[in-house]
A = this chain, B = another copy of it.
């Protein structure tokens, strides 16, 4: 309510002196400082950041756009960003896009109008995003989070999705699985899902195994057993599936158990993301962990460096296999002590 001018008047000094009292107290005589501080207290003075931002041509705000907050991956990352930003005295403007390109565009426009000092964006598909093309022409530092590097040269931070999923696949292969499927949301609508599928195929081929066609679920984070059930019976039935994200995996496990399948007895299920919750379930979720906290923190640190004109290196952040009870040896291996092969074993 009260502004600097009223404080200055009450203290009997000029605006400049009042301003200095807060910005550079050592340049104000102790007596004057005291008067100004008293006046400020008396009037419950609160500096107006908007005015400061206008004058400084900098807002100390970072715009963050994530697809959704209902997926803990993004919520956890955002939490880390918020903490890191506040440590550096920055605030976050947070928006969600639901992967809708028109919303993405509107959000970015809005944030640029708001004169955020930097942008941290997670878009659906980076390489053909109209928004990003626009952004290249802007001078506001912009960092992609989770997305792969953008051909237009926008920096990106995240794990090597392809390598990570290949590694996850190899984990299952090493356990003896041969019939491994991959479960995803509709249309592989994010570039990460595509890279993960590529990693899966690569690892399968490396081992002379046939990559299976993608098993698409109608929703991104919710499994429908009907889409998978046909593949769980018969000669070449799946013994393990990889899911493109943890929520999908968790929901799939729930559906399987409700239908009296055993996990991992009948089917091993592996996730991707490593959200906290996965470890608390039974069976605990085996997953390929993205360092969400570290990604959030590093994103802010990188953006701050970019704001100061540097262009810090952006290696992939390390993914890590998180063991879990949802993955085990395939039924075939368990019966390997008997002479009969699993195919013949099942009528």
User: Which residues does A use to contact B, with CB under 8 Å?
Assistant: 1, 44, 46-51, 53-54, 59, 61, 68-70, 72, 75-76, 78-79, 82-83, 86, 91-96, 107, 109-110, 112-115, 137, 139, 222-223, 247, 250-251, 253-258, 276-277, 280-282, 284
Query: Can you name the residue of chain B whose Cβ is closest to the Cβ of A95?
Result: B82
**Cα separation A112 to B250 with both chains bound (whole Å):** 41
Q: A112 to B46, Cβ gap below 8 A? A: yes
Contact indicator B139/A1 (Cβ below 8 Å): yes
Contacts of A282 in B (CB 8 A): 253-258
Say yes or no: B250 contacts A113, CB within 8 Å.
no
Q: Which residues of B lie under 8 Å from residue A94 when comparing CB positions?
A: 78, 82, 92-94
Query: What are 26 A-to-B residue pairs whose CB atoms are below 8 Å?
Result: A48-B54, A48-B113, A49-B114, A51-B54, A54-B54, A61-B93, A69-B69, A69-B82, A70-B76, A70-B276, A72-B75, A79-B96, A86-B107, A91-B93, A91-B110, A92-B93, A92-B94, A93-B93, A222-B280, A223-B280, A247-B280, A250-B277, A254-B281, A254-B284, A255-B282, A257-B282
B277-A247 in contact (CB<8A): yes
Q: CB-nearest residue of chain B relative to A71?
A: B75
Q: Give the distance to chain B from A75, nearest Cβ to Cβ, in Å.
A: 4
Contacts of A46 in B (CB 8 A): 109, 112-113
Residues of B within 8 A of A280 (CB): 222-223, 247, 250-251, 254-255
* CB-defined contacts of A277 to chain B, threshold 8 Å: 247, 250, 277
**Which of B49, B69, B110, B281 sits near A75, CB closer than 8 Å?**
B69
Q: How far is the CA of A78 from the CA of B107 in the complex (A)?
A: 17
**Copies of this chain held together in the complex:** 2
Docked complex Cα distance between A107 and B87 (Å) = 12
Residue ID in chain B nearest A278 by CB atoms? B254
List of B residues within 8 angstroms of A91 by Cβ: 93, 95, 110, 114
User: Ordered nearest first, which 6 A-B pairs have the shortest CB separation?
Assistant: A257-B282, A251-B280, A75-B75, A69-B79, A254-B282, A94-B94
Assembled-state Cα–Cα distance A76/B53 (Å): 31
User: Given known contacts A75-B75, A93-B94, A257-B282, what 13 new A-B pairs fall within 8 Å (CB)?
Assistant: A46-B113, A49-B114, A49-B115, A69-B82, A70-B75, A72-B72, A83-B96, A91-B93, A91-B110, A251-B280, A253-B282, A254-B284, A255-B282
Q: What are the residues of chain B within 8 A of A83 when measuring CB–CB?
A: 96
Shortest distance from the beta carbon of A150 to any chain B beta carbon, whole Å = 20
Residue from A86, A91, A280 whose CB has the most chain B CB atoms within 10 Å: A280
- Quote the shortest CB–CB distance from A36 to chain B (angstroms): 17
Chain B proximity of A314: nearest CB distance (Å):
25
Chain B residue at smallest Cβ distance from A251? B280
B79 touches A70 (CB 8 A): yes
Q: Which of A68, A79, A83, A251: most chain B CB closer than 10 A?
A: A79
User: In this complex, what residue of B is CB-closest to A252?
Assistant: B280
* Complex interface: chain B residues within 8 A of A78 (CB): 69, 94
Task: Tell me if A68 and B59 are in contact (CB < 8 A).
Answer: no
Query: Complex: how many Å from CA A251 to CA B258?
Result: 19
